[in-house]
Amino acid sequence: MDQIITFIGENMQMIYILVLSVFVGIEVIGHVPSVLHTPLMSGANAIHGVVIVGAIIVMLNCEPDNYLSLSLGFVAVVLGTLNVVGGFVVTDRMLEMFKKK
Amino acid sequence: MHFMITDYILEIAYLAASVTFVLGLKLMANPKTARKGNLIAAAGMCVAVAGTVFLYDDHHGHTSRESVKLILIALAIVIGTVIGWVTAKKVKMTAMPELVSLFNGMGGACAALIGLMEFHHNTGNISAVMTILAGMIIGSVSFAGSIIAFMKLNGTMSKPVRLPSYNLINNIFLLALFADAAWMIYSGTSSSLMLYLLFAAALLYGVLFVIPIGGADMPVVISLLNSFTGLAAAFGGFLYHNQVMLTGGILVGSAGTLLTIVMCKAMNRSLSNVIFGAFGEGSAKAAGGAAAAKGSTKDIGATDVAVLMNYSKKVVLVPGYGLAVAQAQHVIHELEMLLEERGVEVKYAIHPVAGRMPGHMNVLLAEANVDYGKLVEMDEINPEFENTDVVLIVGANDVVNPAAKSNPASPIYGMPILEVDKAKNIIMNKRSMSAGYAGIDNDLFYNPKTSMFFGDAKKALTDLVSELKTL
């Protein structure tokens, strides 16, 4: 229990950001026309690819001779990149078609 | 722990990236600025990734930048970029939803792998293990679920698979999963076996979670899994005290949840109804009910449709997923232009869940250069049907099924529909008399005003266009 309380104490700033981000997320897409739902879902999908930052941190923090961690980290970075790049490119392709003629 | 100038630069880079995510989502809410919004968010992502690669330091002496690591990271990014870019550029517009699902799964897998690797560095630290296991479980569920959703959408696995009393099994399984994770957190175990068992169980739960849900509900599921992955990324943010992972993840988590609810609303169903699904049981009943209502249908050929349309004042086209599958979006645009030339007013009626995702039909028609202003949403077009001479329904079925309004036993009862039965003439293009995606019969076929125009959407429309040209 103590550790939970310490955890909350240490992370108060993060918890602040978390709570405020929840509201920003809801506000920001509150008035999206249904036409844009698919591109929006796809764009949001690309943004959570930010998890790749975690995969890079894992690789930077592991010992250079720990081959298991290195290869798992490598796979994680590949997957994260797929999420980011694929997500943004596919969204761009969808939105490209909405341009005015 | 002492901060260095590089730490501050990295913090600023993360802040900038977080701002681009918010701004990007905001701009994506308007058709005019949407593309710019996406590019801005992408630029922010590059900043966050580059900043991490070159500036990150954990200040506990773990971080190092041997060339072998940097080369591996660069190689991984290059491989991911090439594969992701090429797949995204090559995919057909109709296959868009399953690709989004697949990319979502990749993000989930990435989060799960991070959890697998970080567990051993943090055993004994209850709060760290808690965030690690939470991120790993959610990531794994999202990954496995997305792969199942992908297979359902591309037709590899078309029928929902339901174990007897699957809801009970799933919920007990989920409780067991939580209990196992809680035990691991409090016992402070460092057992690899336990970790991999939990990982496998989370993957299995992802499969069990999605597999009973019907293909028609996959967009909702993908949207939900999308917000799961966001949550998994946010747990990573907690673990590393990394603000950009936290803001990015939570933004997607909350926006994704809202989007999921909006999508459920468009189908007039609750989220729990989609997930725990009364859908399967309901359809059997309704199928029985609809069978009794069967009457006779009448057929119509391309020539008659052409004449009917040519002398109309107002025609409304109702495109459905069948149009997209047949790749007939270009032909329907040709039909529209031809009719306009003859002085017929033409509009497209777009149901919120036409296609396989909300807005999917708009994307498909935009690809065929259909004028954006001609796509009319359901609430605006419904009052216009009374003054419409001909409605042509191409490859849509459930979204025009009057049972949604009149038959309380129908599984789609209560779903808002396009009220095409108010129009003077209804032409229904279908390949056969088979039921729609939801697997239920449609009384509209037996309406005296309805004529069935059988044939593959592309072929039928091509015939119609050439008949029109001869008039």
Q: Does A17 touch chain B (CB under 8 A)?
A: yes
How far, in Å, CA of B388 to CA of B185, rounded? 65
Contact flag B113-A53 (C-beta cutoff 8 Å)? no
* Mean pLDDT within B227-242: 93
B437 by Cβ neighbours in 10 Å (0-12 / 13-18 / 19+) ranks as middle
How far, in Å, CA of B123 to CA of B121, rounded? 6
User: Which token pair is B395?
Assistant: 């490859």
Question: Is residue B2 very low, low, confident or very high in pLDDT (cuts 50, 70, 90)?
Answer: low
Higher pLDDT, B165 or A76: A76
How far, in Å, CA of A57 to CA of B100, rounded? 26
Do the beta carbons of residue B43 and residue B20 sit within 8 Å?
Answer: yes
- Residue B336 φ then ψ, to 5°: -60, -45
**Centroid of chain to Cα B315:** 30
| pLDDT for res B288 | 39
On whether the B295-470 domain is CATH 3.40.50.620, my answer is no
CB atoms within 10 A of CB B448: 9
Please indicate, yes or no, whether residues A27 and A37 belong to a single structural domain of this protein: no
Question: Is residue A10 very low, low, confident or very high in pLDDT (cuts 50, 70, 90)?
Answer: confident
How far, in Å, CA of B390 to CA of B385, rounded? 9
| pLDDT for res B289 | 41
State the Cα angle at B189 between B186 and B195, rounded to 5°: 105
Comparing CA positions, the residue from B18, B53, B25 lying closest to residue B39 is B25
Give B318's strand partners: B393
Q: Among positive and negative, which fits the CA dihedral B111, B113, B114, B120?
A: positive
DSSP annotation string for B192-246: HHHHHHHHHHHHHHHHHHHTTS-GGGHHHHHHHHHHHHHHHHHHHHHHHT-HHHH
Catalytic residue list contains B456: no
Question: What percent of chain B is predicted at pLDDT more than 70?
Answer: 93
User: DSSP 3-state assignment of B357?
Assistant: coil
Please indicate, yes or no, whether residues A47 and A67 belong to a single structural domain of this protein: yes
| pLDDT for res B439 | 61
Give the closest of A3, A70, A86 to B126, CB-based: A3
Please indicate, yes or no, whether residues A40 and A19 belong to a single structural domain of this protein: no
* Mean pLDDT within B166-177: 88
User: Which residues from chain A sit within 8 angstroms of residue B246, using beta carbons?
Assistant: 14, 17-18, 21
Give whole-number Cα distances, B219 to B21, B156, B227, B343, in Å: 23, 16, 13, 38
Q: pLDDT tens digits, residue range B377-403? A: 888 899 999 999 999 999 888 888 888
Please indicate, yes or no, whether residues A71 and A51 belong to a single structural domain of this protein: yes
Please indicate, yes or no, whether residues A39 and A21 belong to a single structural domain of this protein: no
Most confident of A27-41, B332-346, B408-422: B332-346
| pLDDT for res B38 | 95
| pLDDT for res B292 | 41
Q: Does A66 touch chain B (CB under 8 A)?
A: no
| pLDDT for res B121 | 87
- Would the pLDDT of A89 be above 60? yes
Average pLDDT, chain B: 86
How far, in Å, CA of B38 to CA of B184, rounded? 40
Higher pLDDT, B280 or B406: B406
- Would the pLDDT of B447 be above 80? yes
Query: Which residue of chain B is at minimal alpha-carbon distance from A22?
Result: B254
Do the beta carbons of residue B25 and residue A78 sit within 8 Å?
Answer: no
How far, in Å, CA of A100 to CA of B401, rounded? 34
| pLDDT for res B279 | 46
Do the beta carbons of residue B376 and residue B349 sit within 8 Å?
Answer: yes
Please indicate, yes or no, whether residues A40 and A6 belong to a single structural domain of this protein: no
* Mean pLDDT within B308-334: 88
Domain residues for the domain of A19 are: 1-31
- Would the pLDDT of A100 be above 60? no
Please indicate, yes or no, whether residues A65 and A17 belong to a single structural domain of this protein: no
| pLDDT for res A44 | 93
| pLDDT for res B285 | 39
- Would the pLDDT of B164 be above 80? no
Do the beta carbons of residue A37 and residue B269 sit within 8 Å?
Answer: no
| pLDDT for res A101 | 44
Comparing CA positions, the residue from B155, B276, B287 lying closest to residue B221 is B276
- Would the pLDDT of A68 be above 60? yes
Please indicate, yes or no, whether residues A15 and A44 belong to a single structural domain of this protein: no
- Would the pLDDT of B169 be above 90? no
| pLDDT for res B437 | 58
Give the closest of B34, B118, B250 to A58, CB-based: B118
Question: Is residue B1 very low, low, confident or very high in pLDDT (cuts 50, 70, 90)?
Answer: low
Please indicate, yes or no, whether residues A26 and A50 belong to a single structural domain of this protein: no
Q: pLDDT tens digits, residue range B92-128? A: 877 888 899 999 999 999 999 999 999 988 888 888 8
* Mean pLDDT within B274-303: 59
Q: Does A9 touch chain B (CB under 8 A)?
A: no
- Would the pLDDT of B284 be above 70? no
Q: How many structural domains compose chain A? A: 2
- Would the pLDDT of B278 be above 60? no
Question: What percent of chain B is predicted at pLDDT more than 90?
Answer: 46
Please indicate, yes or no, whether residues A42 and A77 belong to a single structural domain of this protein: yes
Give B450's strand partners: B426
| pLDDT for res B294 | 60
Q: pLDDT tens digits, residue range B326-378? A: 788 889 999 999 999 999 999 999 887 777 677 778 888 887 888 878 888 88
User: Which residues from chain B sit within 8 angstroms of residue A12, using beta carbons?
Assistant: none
> To probe the interface with A, which of B54, B114, B370, B377 has the most A CB atoms within 10 Å?
B114
Contact flag A93-B89 (C-beta cutoff 8 Å)? yes
Do the beta carbons of residue B54 and residue B77 sit within 8 Å?
Answer: no
- Would the pLDDT of A64 be above 70? yes
User: Which residues from chain B sit within 8 angstroms of residue A32, using beta carbons?
Assistant: 28-29
ipTM value, please give it.
0.93
Q: Of residues B217, B398, B441, B443, which has the active-site annotation?
A: B398
Query: Which residue of chain B is at minimal alpha-carbon distance from A35?
Result: B359
A13's CB contacts (< 8 A; 6+ apart) are none
Please indicate, yes or no, whether residues A42 and A53 belong to a single structural domain of this protein: yes
Please indicate, yes or no, whether residues A51 and A83 belong to a single structural domain of this protein: yes
Query: Which residue of chain A is at minimal alpha-carbon distance from B93?
Result: A94
